[in-house]
Amino acid sequence: MPSPRRNADGRPLAASASSTSSPGSPAHGGGGGGRFEFQSLLGSRAPGADPTCARLRASESPVHRRGSFPLAGAGPPQAAPAPLPEEDRMDLNPSFLGIALRSLLAIDLWLSKKLGVCAVESSSWGSMRPLMKLLEISGHGIPWLLGTLYCLSRSDSWAGREVLMNLLFALLLDLLLVALIKGLVRRRRPAHNQMDMFVTLSVDKYSFPSGHATRAALVSRFVLNHLVLAIPLRVLVVLWAFIVGFSRVMLGRHNVTDVAFGFFLGYTQYSIVDYFWLSPHNAPVLFVLWNQQ
């Protein structure tokens, strides 16, 4: 008596064709013995009945990608799978840059949450909140603007007025650029942030970049370049800038990347101010107007 035809596992074909094998099981695998099972599984479902599965099969299966799987041409003609929409193709084949950016973002969120140890009173370092808020005020726009205007009104030398006029210009440029970028990027502040900040503008509901970090970097570079200070004071100025930036993450106001970009932007803003340095020679109107006050 002739023995029944068997598949690669040695099981009789009729039995394995009716069995409920799962994808990826040997019944689906290569080898001529698997042909029957593959056909019966495909045949049990109307081609294209489930578009999601059709798309996944089309895009993910090596059959589709290589187009040379021996089983593909063995059965009755199948309806060609619907062409993949462009956005699905991008999702299934993310670029290296996309993966790198998403990973950086995930690390950023995770690290920022970990470092947000003063975000609320009940946080692990919640008792440090008053000190962090003091640092927040030390880097806020209003004290810096009012302080500069006050010094400008009190200054009795041309050189002093020139430096202060440029500091005022730098602070205004900073407010403008930060507001512009915040409005364009519209990144929400971290979920663990308590919105209890001292005087904010409407764009300050957004977090990228940190305005305190830009100001701290800008002002400290400005001060180091235009004030003659002893070394310990210079070190203190740099330390203040870093601590103000770091305190933004500890308070839960910002993610790490908001502050890192803020430092970069503030540092760059100083170069802009230095390039367009205002003096009685290139902006006489400003100085004459101020003198008449």
Ligand X SMILES: CC(C)=CCC/C(C)=C/COP(=O)(O)O
Positions in the binding site for ligand X (CB under 6 A): 140-142, 175, 197, 199-201, 204, 210-212, 248, 253
Pick the closer one to ligand X by CB: 166 or 210: 210
Pick the closer one to ligand X by CB: 92 or 134: 134
CB atoms within 10 A of CB 157: 8
- CB of residue 199 to ligand X, shortest distance in Å: 5
- CB of residue 83 to ligand X, shortest distance in Å: 46
How far lies 174's CA from each of 58, 181, 220, 223, in Å?
52, 11, 13, 15
Pick the closer one to ligand X by CB: 32 or 143: 143
CB atoms within 10 A of CB 35: 16
Q: Give, in degrees to the nearest 5, the angle at Cα 27 between 24 and 29.
A: 60
Residue 27 near residue 37, CB atoms below 8 Å: yes
For the chain, give me the number of helices (H) and strands (E)? Answer: 13, 0
Catalytic choice (28, 212, 226, 281): 212
Pick the closer one to ligand X by CB: 148 or 210: 210
- DSSP string of 3-17, one letter each residue: PPPB-TTS-BHHHHH
- CB of residue 274 to ligand X, shortest distance in Å: 23
- CB of residue 108 to ligand X, shortest distance in Å: 16
Active site residue 254: yes
CA 290 to mean position of chain CA atoms: 43
Catalytic choice (28, 64, 226, 254): 254
> What is the set of active-site residues?
212, 254
